[in-house]
């Protein structure tokens, strides 16, 4: 986990390089649309048993129909989860634990981005911190026994925005001051720090789990384009310069590489290779200095266990 990215271009890795995933169980949060859908489609093509997790059952069934149309042999299903509600996360995990004997790949993908006003989850957490980071922290803890059985992989989605992120322990839930992008950046550097700390915890405790982070660069998802209200410079760029963003299937490649490639490194971080990691093929990503602070990572881990009411021990 060095704070650089290698100058040597990796092979142009694509979905054609995904190995057979027959017998592998996969969960993807936010798998009914955008990057998550592309992940689900590619992994189903590779033979995995894929569980698409989301909060909209109708959208989930539509996604399954699309996957089955493209991959008639696909073993895919939908499970309801509301990542803005820790009780829903726990309920989902109970159902999955009763259904599966192991979990090979968990992709913590779902997220929300820069609502103009501060919103809260059902548990009272700031929406971006609670949904993007804390719910996935809790979900991974609940599914840890299944991950241990499979010596599975956990892929956590970060963002180029994490470069500007910092953990504000004095106002973790942005109750005193809410600015959409800094709060989003905090949630995404938290995801990155979680990925690194999860690998450290796995190594220390002998869990056998591989934890890897990834980011999609700038991709043409609803999160970036369709949900923009057009306000501010970034909103104008998203709304009217959509052509600057790479296709969603391309943006999904770093996640798919992290989830499946034998070459993906434990505790690694991957993103697109070109134009300051905004587009291209999977490549070792730049790691912000803040994400390498082990003391802050452990403090965040301890705080998150208390907030999410879970334990990794």
Catalytic residues: 184
CA distances to 22, 68, 129, 160, 289 from 74, in Å: 11, 6, 34, 32, 41
3-state secondary structure of 106: strand
CA distances to 184, 205, 222, 245, 313 from 46, in Å: 33, 31, 26, 27, 34
Cβ atoms 217, 271 nearer than 8 A: yes
Beta-strand relationship, 269-274 and 279-284? antiparallel
Cβ atoms 266, 212 nearer than 8 A: yes
Give φ, ψ of 177 to 5 degrees.
-150, 120
- Distance CA(185)–CA(164), nearest Å, equals 6
Residue with tokens 């696909």: 74
Cβ atoms 233, 249 nearer than 8 A: no
């Amino acid at each position: 986990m060095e704070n650089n990215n290698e100058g040597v271009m990796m092979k142009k890795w694509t979905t054609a390089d995904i190995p057979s995933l027959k017998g592998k169980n996969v969960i993807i949060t936010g798998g009914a649309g955008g990057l998550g859908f592309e992940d689900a489609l590619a992994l189903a093509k590779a033979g995995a048993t894929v569980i698409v997790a989301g909060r909209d059952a109708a959208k989930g069934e539509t996604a399954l129909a699309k996957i089955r149309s493209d991959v008639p042999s696909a073993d895919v299903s939908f499970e309801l989860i509301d990542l803005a509600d820790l009780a829903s996360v726990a309920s989902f995990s109970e159902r999955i634990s009763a259904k599966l004997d192991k979990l090979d790949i968990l992709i913590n993908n779902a997220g929300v981005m820069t609502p103009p006003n501060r919103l809260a989850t059902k548990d009272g957490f700031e929406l971006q911190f609670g949904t993007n980071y804390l719910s996935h922290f809790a979900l991974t803890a609940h599914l840890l026994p299944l991950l241990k059985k499979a010596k599975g992989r956990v892929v956590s989605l970060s963002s180029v925005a994490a470069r500007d992120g910092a953990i504000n322990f004095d106002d973790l839930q942005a109750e005193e001051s809410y600015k959409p992008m800094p709060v989003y950046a905090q949630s995404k550097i938290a995801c990155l720090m979680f990925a690194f700390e999860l690998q450290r915890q796995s190594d220390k405790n002998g869990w056998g789990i591989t934890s890897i982070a990834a980011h999609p660069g700038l991709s043409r998802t609803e999160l970036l384009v369709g949900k923009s209200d057009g306000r501010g410079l970034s909103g104008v760029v998203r709304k009217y310069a959509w052509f600057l963003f790479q296709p969603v299937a391309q943006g999904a490649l770093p996640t798919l590489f992290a989830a499946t490639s034998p070459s993906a490194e434990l505790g690694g971080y991957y993103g697109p290779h070109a134009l300051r990691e905004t587009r291209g093929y999977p490549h070792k990503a730049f790691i912000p200095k803040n994400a390498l602070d082990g003391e802050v990572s452990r403090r965040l881990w301890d705080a998150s266990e208390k907030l999410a009411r879970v334990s990794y021990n």
